[in-house]
Amino acid sequence: MNYPFDVTSYETHTRIILGFDSIKMLTPELKNIKPKKVMVMCGSNIKKTGFYSKCIEYIIQAGFPYVIFDEVLPEVPVSVVMKACEVIKKEGCELLIAIGGGSCIDTAKAAGVVVTNGGKPQDHAGYEQYKIPPIPFIAIPTTAGTSSEVTSMTVINDEENKVKFTIGHKELGCSKIAILDPQGLESCPPKVVAEAGFDAFTHAFESFISLKANPHTEALSLQGIKLISENLRPLYANRKNIHAASNMLAGSTMGGMAFTTTGCGNVHCIGRHVGPLLHVSHGLAVAMVLPAVARFNYLACPEKFVQIAQAMGEDVRGLSVYEAGKKAIKAIEELCSDVNLLKKMKDFGCKEDDFEPLAQDCWNVYERHYQYINPRQTTKNDYIDIIKDAYM
């Protein structure tokens, strides 16, 4: 990035409310919006938590009628989105409140688009393919990872054709309000904290070194890296650590706010194929690939790696740029290791025969998309080398 010579822009469309018991803000926010009827969207597990009960209490206090759609599933199947749309239309809901992880928030985003624009989610696949503003929604995340509460994209799973696709809109795709209450993370299992946390870290990391980074996104990315690397370990150890949970939620949204502008690079390019291939979560897939991609990308922007190392608490005094930058890679591996995510693809059933088709899949998307984002130019053979590095 050669600023200030390049023209850059940054925008976000979500009001972010952060802090312990910030969920109580649901009541005044609802009174402000005045919806005729609200639809609460969630999965079956979150309904068993005290945090969910609190959310419902605050909705009741606002005095607007509401219905509950508790059929949200992981990976956002099209069939669930369509089912939610039926309920929204039948009940005449004017506002959606998504209480859950990334899949729940993505379901609300997609349903909102389909209800106002018609058709199926597939009809709106791609970027800015719909014109009518979707039904507004409030996001209340219960994981710190996808940052869907502030991004303009939703990832949907077409289960019939076994393909995932995105629906995005820079202006219309974001939540109206995101309420980040650390109490929402209390029921999150440590494995989910770690995997979601590494997804969040990777968003901040990849947006910081993106070719599309600008001064505004860099500030968000770097602070995201700092907050996540300082707070992932304590939250993994104790989900009731309010301070760590608040900082993880804040750090995750910062990465999301940045990558909405910058995109993500080779970790996501490879990770998006590794997840379905090895049947592992997106967070685990990116954590497996991240150290290998960091080693590969390091030569393209060593000064940025020095800043990452410093943000992660490494002492770089007296070191050359190259020595100091390498400390970022070491710090990433230590963070992975401390939350039990220093894993290799071989341990999850990856075979050497998978290298070539996996590299080809990555190369196909690189040419279309990632070459404009990833800081180091990448060939198909480079992808094979990175995959080998992440393999064992």
CB atoms inside a 10 Å sphere around CB 32? 9
The closest alpha carbon to 76, from 189, 6, 153, belongs to 153
Question: CB of residue 24 vs Fe ion: minimum separation in angstroms?
Answer: 30
Binding mask 147-186 for Fe ion (x = CB under 5 A): ----------------------------------------
Per the CB < 8 A criterion, the answer to whether 81 and 98 are in contact is: no
Provide the minimum distance between the beta carbon of 199 and Fe ion in the complex, in angstroms, as a whole number: 4
Distances (CA, A) of 20 to 9, 146, 252, 317, 390: 32, 21, 16, 37, 38
Q: Is 161 exposed, middle or buried (0-12, 13-18, 19+ CB in 10 A)?
A: exposed
- Minimum distance from CB of 107 to Fe ion (Å)? 17
Residue pair 335/189 in contact (Cβ under 8 Å)? The answer is no
Our CB check for Fe ion shows the closer of 106 and 181 to be: 106
Question: SS3 breakdown of the chain: % helix, strand, coil, rounded to 5?
Answer: 55, 10, 30
Interface stretch with Fe ion, choices 16-24, 101-109, 136-144, 193-201 (CB under 5 A): 193-201
Q: In the bound complex, what is the minimum distance in angstroms from residue 69's beta carbon to Fe ion?
A: 25
- Give the three-state DSSP class for 33: helix
For 159, counting Cβ atoms within 10 Å of its Cβ (0-12 exposed, 13-18 middle, 19+ buried), the class is: middle
Q: State the DSSP string of 61-106.
A: HHT--EEEE----TT-BHHHHHHHHHHHHHHT--EEEEEESHHHHH
Q: For tokens 């309000």, name the residue.
A: 177
| Smallest separation, CB 274 to Fe ion (Å) | 12
Shortest distance (Å) from residue 5 CB to Fe ion = 30
Contact region with Fe ion (CB under 5 A), list: 60-68, 174-182, 195-203, 242-250: 195-203
| Residue 196 or 222 having the CB closest to Fe ion | 196
For residue 276 the two structure tokens come to 């379905």
Please choose, out of 100-108, 196-204, 232-240, 309-317, the segment that lies near Fe ion by the rule CB under 5 A: 196-204
Q: Which stretch binds Fe ion (CB under 5 A): 35-43, 115-123, 191-199, 247-255?
A: 191-199
Question: Counting Cβ atoms within 10 Å, is residue 247 exposed (0-12), middle (13-18) or buried (19+)?
Answer: buried
- Tell me whether residue 169 or residue 203 sits nearer to Fe ion (CB atom): 203
Nearer to Fe ion, 17 or 373 (CB): 373
Nearest to 37 by CA among 15, 58, 53, 59: 59
Find out whether 87 and 67 touch, Cβ atoms under 8 Å: yes
The contact pattern for Fe ion, residues 100-139, with x = CB under 5 A and - = no contact, is ----------------------------------------
Q: Which is nearer to Fe ion, 84 or 174 (CB)?
A: 174
Residue 198's nearest CA partner among 236, 240, 244 is: 236
**Least distance from C-beta 325 to Fe ion, angstroms?**
23
Stretches 23-31, 132-140, 169-177, 194-202: which one binds Fe ion (CB under 5 A)?
A: 194-202
For Fe ion, which residue has the nearest CB? 199
Least distance between Fe ion and beta carbon 307 (Å): 21
Shortest Cβ 311–Fe ion spacing (Å): 19
Q: Which stretch binds Fe ion (CB under 5 A): 129-137, 199-207, 213-221, 364-372?
A: 199-207
* Binding residue (CB under 5 A) for Fe ion from 199, 206, 218, 314: 199
Count of residues that bind Fe ion according to CB under 5 A: 1
The encoded tokens of residue 37 equal 């009827």
Is the bond into 65 cis (omega within 30 degrees of 0)?
no
Residue span binding Fe ion (CB under 5 A) among the ranges 23-31, 71-79, 198-206, 273-281: 198-206
Question: Would you say 23 or 174 has its CB closer to Fe ion?
Answer: 174
Query: What residue ranges bind Fe ion (CB under 5 A)?
Result: 199
